[in-house]
Amino acid sequence: MASFISLLSTILLLSPLCFTTSLVSASNKVSVSLYYETLCPYCSSFIVNNLANIFQNGLISIIDLHLVPYGNAIVTSDGSIICQHGAGECLLNAIEACAIKVWPDVQQHFPFIQCVEKSVEAREENGWESCFQATGLSSEPVINCYNSGYGQQLELQYGKETNSLQPPHQFVPWVLVNGKTLLEDYENLEHYVCKAYKGALPKVCKGQRLTISQETRANNGDKKNMHKSVFCLLAWVILWL
């Protein structure tokens, strides 16, 4: 009996340490923010072909992912929004903003957003409407959010957040890891996440190597400022290493 009580006391003493370790691990997640617009082909490609990988390989377990569908839109003096790729993009920006609001769990809203961006890549007009059924999510709360004008309000909030970035975003997709921009090297997201994480690295991080794309993925149509030189890109990569 005495040994049982001693064992129980030891468990009770150690249990706070276990809980504390769990909480610290959660707080050490790497912050990843993606500023994008829904009809930008480079944004769609990054979401569908790159960002989706972190869900498939488990890297999402160490990431706090923040999606901001606004991009290079501008707000007029009367409070209306003009999107870079037209009214269709404003619609989808607001739809995705509503999805994020309705389903704040990234494990819920990302599959929907990925599906929408797949339909954009396939150039399927109104293909996004089938994404509710494809993901098993109800369309009603998102459509109500959009029709009520709340989606517009969410977009105005995203606009303020995007326009307050320091340094300002120069193109989309604009990716930040723990507040640092990856510039044109956003396709190496997994490398930077693994490098930034302070806890025990998941298997996917083992053997991660930095690769530099030979092609600048953001074209002039989705940029705000002049093209960055290769020298600047290499200097930024060296800074991260």
DSSP 3-state helix, strand, coil percentages of the chain (rounded to 5)? Answer: 60, 10, 30
**Amino acid identity of 171?**
F
Token pair 């370790």 is at which residue?
Answer: 21
pLDDT band of residue 207 (cuts 50, 70, 90) is: confident
Determine the Cα–Cα distance for residues 74 and 67; give it in Å rounded to an integer. 18
Determine the Cα–Cα distance for residues 143 and 23; give it in Å rounded to an integer. 36
Give the mean pLDDT of 138-146: 98
- 148-198 pLDDT, tens digit per residue, is 999 999 999 999 999 999 999 999 999 999 999 999 999 999 999 999 999
Whether 155 and 97 have beta carbons less than 8 Å apart is answered as yes
Token pair of 39, please? 């009809």
* Cα three-residue angle 175-176-180, rounded to 5 degrees: 135
pLDDT for res 25? 55
* E strand or H helix that includes residue 30: strand 30-36
pLDDT for res 206? 87
**pLDDT for 231 beyond 50:** no
